[in-house]
Structure 1
């Protein structure tokens, strides 16, 4: 089979949320659009499909109904307090200002007009520990989690009046960008299903290929230096194809790639019971009431680690501990009432839009999730005494670290 050739007004590398939103915007302008996605068709929507679907927005009707007094000015002040901007970080500062002043129009209204809805209850993310984080609740949970978010956007895209202008090719790995006289003219790569090569000619190329955290070697290369060496074991919840390859292509073409060390990691993760990629992890939303201890069973402190105030601080403190990992000790009641898994796969009541089950879970705890984790996870041990618990923790690690 010969090489494949495609032509479009705009080529989009990646069929996740950024690529699909870009395609919708371009279809609104009646452009000829080509999406090149490396994954299979059933995975269109990328990592966002597996997410919990929380979005930070300012001045929404949901906030107003809860009598949350929020403004772009307050949000920008909070962001600036928490962001650790460098003095010359002009573009990041401009982005923060644009986001806070435009989230109502460009995110909330845009999504609502395309079939996305949100829970009435606005939640707290990242309140800040030593300096102010979010002054008010701003975290809006998509009804149906990230799965519902992507279903709504994909349906909108497929039902678009200009859908005929859109072509989507799957199993297409873009390997590099093409240029002429200093301008990007397209891209080329490999159709992995049959090892056929392809080339694209387009007026513009949008890179929407995700971050770098799908490749843990790249993560370690760009690890945040103030945290010391990266942990020996890191789990990933990122998309397996978000490997930084297109970042390198952009850089080789003269593009400006910055801040790769500003990665957002989570402090509590366990191995995925049914991994879809190497080192696949589940990100836990840790209980506030749990006892957070290090590899030797010693409480991390003196300031106790508490989730949802400053996640980066939690990661920083754990990286200072022996082994650079932690345990959370809790009883079953705490587990049922407070423990959650971030994402659509385990938050099934939210994902499947079962209102009564969501209310029941909030009132009485999530026994279904607890039983599932206890039955599936290799990283959770249970015991009826402290000594038995320590023995099982040591047995799991294959050493005698815990006293």
Structure 2
């Protein structure tokens, strides 16, 4: 029996039909396009069965599937080891071309290389595209071609290059939707993938709150955040639409989007930062790494209200306000002298917007070990941060229900912890 000649578009971190570069090009293939998503066992096997991020991916895929059904198509959803899934698809279809958008994390690079080799060996042509960033890999470099390791000159070069493109072109694939393969693949339930509903949900994003982002972003009690970060992480929104919008509305918010790409190119250029200090001079620091202290930090029972409120918000919702993230990270690394890798791993487990490059970048920034990081002698005072950014205690009372009933004493004295941290860093930094 003759196998059907088709092309595939492989969804990964781009869970939308709108302004999707790889999809735009796929739909101009000479063959009908089957849209595909693979739940990768290599990723899923390490996650709890009620992981909220898997639920969000499933929900986003269901929306795409509904859109496809309106035009007589549907989404093919598979689960398994990625290579094994592609081997089964090659056996079932005469695959001519496969289109996908690039992913820049080390695991994804290796996965995509292996899949591309498999496709090529079976006379299927892989095509990859830039979609999740404005500038990728080596597009923003110093004059000598080396990557920037300081944010401000990177940002300036990024903005300069972006202005020559403004507005950034967007990709409307809807005019080619008739090229989707006509089919009715069964869409699996969350249970069929081996997962269950989580009480934690990803909130809808809200761009209307960004107009005065520069004025409100440091105050956690003011619910002024856009909740965009998980949507950016999984690509349910387009970075091009977002940057075009932010460039007109708010420079400070645009700077945050540039930080995202800065950390991505740091990870791409220096993959060791996943689990090693960017600044190797910090490798000699003698961390305390006390497990009981770490547990108190995780559970939000340190006795420092700003720290505890942040950790409880994270544990209950999968979110944490950005200002509070800096406070809790500094507290773990400086007050408790616990390695940043411990905190990074905990955030990776809990954050709905977990992004490897940003998580590693921000944790190393807080610890002082990263590129363009806070200096080691900068130690946030959680009480001063509370007075400055939650003066009326609205945020802490929301997350610490027992606060007004007589809250516990701090687990250690700030002045002592600060002096100890500075001395430990000073002694440990390799000359």
Q: TM-score range by the shorter chain?
A: 0.3 to 0.5
User: What TM-score, normalized by structure 1, do the two folds share?
Assistant: 0.33
User: What TM-score, normalized by structure 2, do the two folds share?
Assistant: 0.31
